[in-house]
A and B are shown apart, each in its own frame.
Chain A
Amino acid sequence: MDFLSLQEIHHTYFTKTSATTALSDISLEIGEGEFVSFLGPSGCGKTTLLSIIAGLLEPTAGAITLEGKDVQEASKNIGYMLQQDYLFPWKTIEENILLGFKIDGSLNDSNRDYALTLLEKMGLKGVEKQYPKQLSGGMRQRVALVRTLATEPKLLMLDEPFSALDYQTKLKLEDLVSNTLKSFGKTAILVTHDIGEAIAMSDRIFLFSSSPGQIHKTFIMPDELREATPFNARNHEAYSSIFQTVWKELESLEPANKH
């Protein structure tokens, strides 16, 4: 059985004055340990879909199961990093990254050590006692990543986690996240605007078209790119031709979606 399965998800947002269909007929399956990316123009419903998978939002229609269970019950196994860091400004960095343990009452010394080691791996040693506003945007995003990774969710969802970072840090973190997830055999969904990042990191890319959000096309990455680290994948000879293909598809979506 597939690890995560979405069947005919529809979602419409209702407000007093309008009804916006954000997602229409989304069906997909993701295997355990797979890394997939959602790529698509702004407003095509990527964040909405993640919220639905995380069980935060009830879809208007359709079903989602994680390991055969309804996501509402499985929510403990899902880590979701929102599009912005949303660190709690009144908590120190340490309190922020331990939040998941505090909520489910599992805070202990080994958990704490694990979270602090992750923080160190992200290049953020010595900031534990500081408050979020004392850190730069990129640092905060890494802290948010640590907070999400710390509870070791089986499924990890990242909504544009690297968008506020400088290019170098971004490349480094791509490698770090990719390695960490691979070594633990984690399943991950990455939302991104960056075609290169999607190619370098994923096993599969779902390209979304908008109004309403639909899966336009699925790209399967060749083995040689999957096995390489993101950094090496970017330099691989297969990379640029795939980039061209995805780019063309994305371009073909644009004119139809002028607002």
Chain B
Amino acid sequence: MNPQTNIEQGHRRYLQSLKREKKWVRFYQLIIFLVFFSGWEIASRLQWIDPLIFSSPSKVWELFLAKVQDGTLFVDLSYTLFETIFGFILGTVLGTLLAAILWWSPLLSKIADPYLVVLNSMPKVALGPILIVALGPSFTSIVAMGAIISIIITTIVVYTSFKEVDPNYIKVLQTFGATRFQIFKEAILPASFPVIISTLKVNVGLSWVGVIVGEFLVASKGLGYMIIYGFQVFNFTLVMLSLLVIAVCATIMYQLVELLERKLIKNGS
């Protein structure tokens, strides 16, 4: 056998082993999924857990179908989804923008430092009532909740990464006579993409928290409202349904961020 076919065979074997491993991983993931839901169903039917509180997958599914048919689920979902995406984008963009301003002016960043620390340690959801009074019990204040919860932490994390870019990259650009804006665009921002992406991932979760809490406080629509309403009328199937819908949506958003990551970060790997 010549060495060339040997290498090809080895490579094929390597790919096969990768595939096999992936299959097993998927298999176990599926098993966990099935065990969880069937366990839940059985435990509920046999009254191991209180079916009134924990509901059961079949009841959730029935409710899901009913709510899909009368269209009410989509109304609530679209409200919440819109608020979350809006809050998420607003929080991330404003946070990054603030970080850019701080990078631009080192003096300003020194002055702002203690205030950022204070704002960051503050539990943002506690601002909810103030937002509602200030902006009205509406869409605006819920979006504001979704944004405010992530904006300061985004600013701090992204600014830190801006500062940590190797100054020698800046030197290279300066030898070509780059302006401060060019330095930002060519070195600072792209060098910080990995950090920005990972804050995006964190912000996906944070925005959901902000929006759901916001809906607890004000809304008459949305998944957060569905949870609080289900709680009030003791319809826990409704609560479970909205929890599951939130889980699915948050996961999809997370996946989209990962897609963006693959688009944005290229260095030949």
Contact = CB atoms under 8 A, between A and B. Distances in A.
Q: Is chain B a partner of chain A in the same complex?
A: yes
Interface of A: 51, 54, 56, 75-76, 78-80, 82, 84, 86, 88-90, 99-100, 102-104, 130-134, 148, 151
B187 to A, nearest CB: 7
A131 B267 contact: yes
Interface in B212-269: 265-269
B178 interface: yes
B176 interface: yes
A90 B265 contact: yes
28 contacts: A54-B174, A56-B175, A75-B174, A75-B177, A80-B175, A86-B169, A86-B171, A86-B172, A88-B169, A88-B186, A88-B187, A89-B267, A90-B190, A90-B265, A90-B266, A90-B267, A99-B172, A100-B176, A103-B173, A103-B177, A103-B178, A103-B182, A131-B266, A131-B267, A131-B269, A133-B267, A133-B269, A134-B268
Contacts of B168: 82, 84, 86
Contacts of B166: 86
A134 B186 CA distance: 21
B261 to A, nearest CB: 13
A56 B186 contact: no
Given A86-B168, A99-B186, A75 B268 contact: no
Contacts, number: 61
B193 interface: yes
Interface of B: 166, 168-169, 171-178, 182, 186-187, 190-191, 193, 265-269
Contacts of A79: 175
Contact of A82 (B171, B182, B265): B171
A20 B225 CA distance: 64
Given A89-B267, A131-B268, A151-B176, A103 B186 contact: yes
Contact of A104 (B174, B177, B266): B177
Given A56-B174, A103-B177, A88 B268 contact: no
A75 B175 contact: yes
A130 B268 CA distance: 7
Nearest to B178: A103
Contacts of B190: 88, 90
Contacts of A75: 174-175, 177
Nearest to B194: A90
Contacts of B174: 54, 56, 75
A100 B178 CA distance: 9
Contact of B171 (A56, A88, A99): A56
A250 to B, nearest CB: 28
A256 to B, nearest CB: 31
Contacts of B268: 130-134
Contacts of B173: 99, 103
B177 A76 contact: yes
Nearest to B172: A86
Q: 5 nearest interchain CB pairs?
A: A131-B268, A103-B176, A80-B175, A100-B176, A103-B178
A102 B47 CA distance: 70
Contacts of B175: 54, 56, 75, 78-80, 148
A156 to B, nearest CB: 11
A90 B176 contact: no
A79 B269 CA distance: 31
A84 B173 CA distance: 14
Contacts of B178: 103
B107 to A, nearest CB: 18
A103 to B, nearest CB: 4
A103 B180 CA distance: 11
Contacts of A100: 176
Nearest to B168: A86
Contacts of A89: 267
A151 B176 CA distance: 9
Given A56-B174, A56-B175, A90-B265, 7 more contacts: A80-B175, A86-B166, A88-B169, A90-B267, A131-B266, A131-B269, A133-B268
Nearest to B169: A86
B169 to A, nearest CB: 6
Contacts of A130: 268
Contacts of A80: 171, 175
A82 B177 CA distance: 15
Contacts of A104: 176-177
A102 B175 CA distance: 13
